[in-house]
Chains A and B, each alone.
Chain A
Amino acid sequence: MRLRVGAATDVGQVRKLNEDAYTVIPRQGVFVVCDGMGGAAAGEVASQMTIETIQKHLTSNDRAPAPVANPSGYLARTERLAEAVRESNRAIYELAQEDRKKAGMGTTFVGVWVEENIASVAHVGDSRAYLWHSDQIEPITEDHSLVEAQVKAGVIRRDQVEESKVRSVLLRALGQEPEVQVDVSEVPLQPGDYLLLCSDGLTRVVPDSGLARAIAALREPQRICDYLIHTANSRGGPDNITVVVVQVAKSFWQRLWDRLRG
């Protein structure tokens, strides 16, 4: 398995600051998008802190041997990713408590760790991860937002989400409370699949079908990212926009093997 990666972020057309942050570590298979919140540049601090915490935690060499199965039912690296997210939460929360200027700062988190064809996914907030597979796109995260809760409770319909006045209300974010609940899942990946991570600055103006079309038409991860940023901006760019696209491709040896076997 080989991963090809594209990434882009843009301030959008309305905001003055870009409080989104992302990191891609292709060699390790780690990809993260964060959407910071908090006035006076504090959101930027929160998202950046998270990225740094993740980089520090997941790139350290003390790789514990992966047990076959954890009591939780998830792979050891899924647990490790979730723990890194919880650690970021504590770090932001503590800083926000100490520094009044940063009070209330926070960030969303969506991250994947791909190894041996399985993506460990962790998320908090309304930044999303999607899987594109045989011409179909499907969300692999569920927003921790008030509108999503309203849809689930049957209070509003999914097609009413766009007009909702409370679209920006999050039910979970990093840095808001001493402990945070992190959603995790695992997704097996096949060559030809794509993963797309993004902040809500993209999904507010580009529907899922638009994401699927961009992947199907462009194929090349960086071109997909650039195109989607351009599209979001041309639709008003109401918020910061960040996209990371990971293409799962066959390795050289796999392609050679396939050829040899006809």
Chain B
Amino acid sequence: MAKLILKFEDRVLKEVPVGAQLVKIGRVPDNTVMIDNPAVSSHHARVFRDGDNFVLEDLQSTNGTFVNDNRVTRHTLSNGDVIAVGKHKLVFERGEKEEVAAEAAPSEEAPVLPELGGTVFLDTKAQRELIAKMQAQAAAQGQAAPAAPTAKTPVAGAPPPAPARVGVLTVLSGKADQSEFRLEAATSVIGKSDTALVRLKGWFKPKLAAAIARKGETYTVTPLGGKTLVNKQPLTGRYELKDGDVLEVSGLTLQFNLQ
């Protein structure tokens, strides 16, 4: 397998394997190879795998990165290359090719792509593999995903792929252009607005009376203007609708049902 041998004045300080993991070289502790010397920039250079090759990249270091005494910004490493960072040297030794190939499978905790400004992006393929592995791991531990208890929010999320039921508002009394309204959208508005599903008509009707947000089979009503009552009780805050609730919005009485 490929490795970097860190040397200072011909003394070997350390050997670092180079594989799927990105190797970061610099002065501060979050580097893979930390060289505590003022001539070395905090994040000086990095070595990463690019297909079959290993690439050295200078991270705009103050004093530069050299390979075989030539200053480089980016260089594909060959066996025996001597990288100079400040007064330290790193000798690159390339192992057998097969070993390198075998190692390509993401085996580490975080298969790392070139790190950029501290944040790393994992491509779609890599993350699918990783997440599948994590799920298997969780299942094996017998603590099968306690599906993150994200607080119930009155926020409209993506309608699920095949929702079993859809909320329907049936007009019990008042003027409306339809006798029932299916709440299929992520947000359904009641009011005078052009975007409203349930259109109110009349001078003193609010442009927006209420908005009903859908998240799967959960419907949350938010009063926005005028008077809104649920089961005869005035509504001021958000409210999660239950099957059979009666909603009164600016003179219109509607019943909510899941169908």
Contacts and interface: CB of A to CB of B under 8 A. Distances in A.
B109 A138 contact: no
Given A75-B187, A116-B195, A117-B224, A43 B116 contact: yes
Which size bracket describes the interface of A in this complex? 35 or more
27 contacts: A37-B116, A37-B118, A37-B119, A37-B121, A40-B60, A43-B116, A43-B117, A66-B195, A73-B185, A74-B186, A104-B116, A105-B116, A116-B207, A131-B155, A139-B151, A153-B145, A154-B138, A154-B143, A166-B110, A169-B112, A170-B122, A171-B127, A173-B119, A187-B155, A188-B211, A190-B222, A239-B118
B153 A165 contact: no
Contacts of B121: 37, 104, 106, 169-171, 173, 176
Given A106-B121, A152-B147, A187-B156, A118 B211 contact: yes
A149 B114 contact: no
B157 interface: yes
Contact of A158 (B113, B143, B148, B195): B148
A16 to B, nearest CB: 9
Contacts of B87: none
Nearest to A171: B127
Contact of A155 (B112, B114, B137, B193): B137
A117 B127 CA distance: 37
Contacts of A122: none
Nearest to A181: B124
A19 B186 contact: no
A69 B117 contact: no
Contact of A168 (B120, B145, B195): B120
Contacts of A146: 110, 122, 127, 130
Given A188-B187, A239-B118, A134 B237 contact: yes
A78 B159 CA distance: 14
Given A73-B184, A185-B157, A239-B118, A150 B134 contact: yes
A73 B148 contact: no
Contacts of A106: 116, 121
A151 interface: yes
Interface of B: 59-60, 74, 109-110, 112-124, 127, 130-131, 134-135, 137-138, 141, 143-148, 150-151, 153-159, 184-189, 193-197, 207-208, 211, 213-214, 222-225, 237-238
Nearest to A133: B238
Chain B contact residues: helix, strand, loop or mixed: loop
A186 interface: yes
Contacts of A65: 194
Contact of B208 (A42, A116, A142, A173): A116
Nearest to B193: A116
A103 to B, nearest CB: 8
A185 B158 contact: yes
B122 A165 contact: no
Interface string A165-199: 11011110100110000011111111000000000
Interface in A68-95: 68-70, 73-75, 78
Contacts of A188: 154, 187, 211, 213, 222, 224, 238
Nearest to A19: B117
A180 to B, nearest CB: 10
A122 to B, nearest CB: 12
A92 B118 CA distance: 19
Contacts of B211: 117-118, 188
Given A39-B59, A188-B213, A117 B208 contact: yes
A131 to B, nearest CB: 7
Contact of A171 (B74, B118, B122, B146): B122
Contact of A185 (B143, B147, B155, B188): B155
Contact of A190 (B138, B147, B197, B224): B224
- Ranked nearest first, the 8 interchain pairs of A and B with the lowest CB-CB distance are A188-B211, A154-B145, A188-B222, A154-B138, A37-B119, A186-B187, A153-B134, A38-B116
Contacts of A171: 121-122, 127
Contact of A169 (B114, B122, B135): B122
Contacts of A153: 131, 134-135, 137-138, 145
Nearest to B210: A188
Contact of B197 (A69, A158, A185): A69
B131 A149 contact: yes
